[in-house]
Structure 1
Amino acid sequence: MKVAILSAALAVSWSAQAADVASCSDPVGQGYFPEIGLIGKKDAGWSEERITGGITKLVKTGESDLDILFVDARKDIVSARDDGGRVSLLTKGENAFSVIVVYPGTTAEVYTFLKNSSGHLEYLHTLSRSGDGVLITKASVMRGDCSYIRDRHRDRKTRDIRAQAKVETALSRKRIKASPARADGAVRALRAVVNYLRAERGLDLPDVAKRITATKGWGNVARRKRALIGDTLPEFVAAVRSLPEDLPPDLSGTQRDLTLFLLCTALRWTAGAGLEWSEIDFKAKTITIPKERMKGKVAHSLPLGPQMLAMLKQRQKDGRSDRYVFPGLGRDEKGRINFDAL
């Protein structure tokens, strides 16, 4: 819990100024203290090094400026640059890169962030401290785990994306054979993410759907028929009209009237279900939906036919709610259904 809080504190303190590249924690290792300065013969030698709850972050503060932020044993948040260190990229490879921090005249530190052969993210921290102004001469090496290491490929061409990106047709893999629509949706979602990374992060990524489009390999899923036509519509309306009146907690009558109201007005669910009595003009035989409930954010007025007028007048007569035409079940202060209010 403490690590999470400290990590959040680091993120809040620096989110407006820097972009996180790596975040690592709980380093453990060995340190060597030679018999020199304040270190006597009794205290000289190797000892275990550990920073419980220690967090180390590599951040990018500008186009190319790097900084190391860390939470030390005292739980203080420290910036290497603010502490007088010079932070530079030392080496960069496919699965690892190193950053060196030099505190002139006293200390040199190397942070290596890597992805090992098993796919695990970790970092190595080596330190050498010596000089006339140093009270305790020391050399150490520690290792910790990383929760993420980002932007390892920012300045070089990214390798081709494999796996789902190279599926030519929805039927070419057995596990997605039964759902070409889901396979198409997965590729479209991946393409949207890639396009976002191209635009926002400047990454050089391939078009994951290019080959599928070129080979006409999409699932060719037929569009759903969303309209009730032919004999289906009268059958549906008859079935809805046959629903009984409300018998709380069963609101079948309200569901019946709302469904018919939406069929007659072609309003969206959110626009129609929230209809209020103040939005109905019985003299003009119209309803006006305010812009807040309309998708286009423009108020919308509609005429009412004889059947809808009769239904609305009957609901007003029943008096289920002083505000809403199609009210749900009432609830008390604790969010429980209040049957006494029905």
Structure 2
Amino acid sequence: MTSRRILLVTAALLGLSAPLAHAQAKLKVAAIYTVPFEQQWVSRIHKALKAAESRGEIEYKATENVANADYERVAREYATQGNQLIVGEAFGVEAAIRKVAKDFPKVGFLMGSSGKPQAPNFSVFDNYIQEPSYLAGMVAGGMTQSGKIGMVGGFPIPEVNRLMHAFMAGAREVNPKVQFSVTFINSWFDPPKAKEAAFAMIDKGADILYAERFGVSDAAKERGKLAVGNVIDTQAQYPDTVIASALWHMEPSIDRALQLVKAGKFAAEDYGVYSTMKHQGASLAPLGTFEKKVPAELKAKVDAKQKAIQGGTFAVKVDDSQPKAAFN
């Protein structure tokens, strides 16, 4: 038997073949973030990709704090380096990153975006977590003593606006007389500015704050008020402050994209639905340290509404318009 035949027989006995070996090769994935890894929104994407990396599915590279002016350059570098999937956010760089996607049609792009998918390879997603935001609003509406809730957001874009509207609607379901104050700090990561905005609301009577941005819970903690978290659960850091949180889980979206890239079937698609409760892309965090502080009647209402959402008998309204509210 020739050496070549021996090698072929050995490979067959071991169950190896060229296609199988290729299928098991790690995908090369890169991510580009305009803010630090620890920022709420980015941290969820980074976490999902790190999980895939730890499973041995991908080779993962990521760059944080990329200025908008440098975004296109970094994206082109990653594309030319053989990365098969590039993940990030297109907010503020829509035209630039879509141009890169056109120039690299064989590379998959999965970008947080307020826009539509772009054939053949530009998919979009967002933190479509209005359902748990509604539930968190119910908790806040039932817990406020002053009847005033302050809300601090980054930018008034659809992805933020819809969460605020859902939160407000949930609060009003259990407390129709509740009042709101809404402020946008025009930054995705400026904790000191968010903190100052929260202080101003507390000075006007707010006893619960919606912490869409980092810094708000710090203000609540310092003034002995309550806060509701967004995207991530920070109750461990604020055990006496953060009463509830609407959580985002990016794993369903990332895992779907990886499967499609691996199968050679990645295409332009809107991944928004994979961030809903139906697909385990969102959830209301456990009450944890507030489990015994939230009235049983209120918890029962929240549980019933959650079951209605998951059962498809109640749909949270999606309102992308900028919320405008202020109490005196």
Please confirm whether the aligned pair reaches a TM-score higher than 0.5, indicating the same fold: no
More strand by proportion, 1 or 2? Answer: 1
TM-score of the superposed pair, with normalisation by structure 1: 0.20
Higher share of residues assigned helix: 2
Higher relative CO (CA 8 A, sep ≥ 6), structure 1 or 2?
Answer: 2
Which protein is bigger by CA-based radius of gyration?
Answer: 1
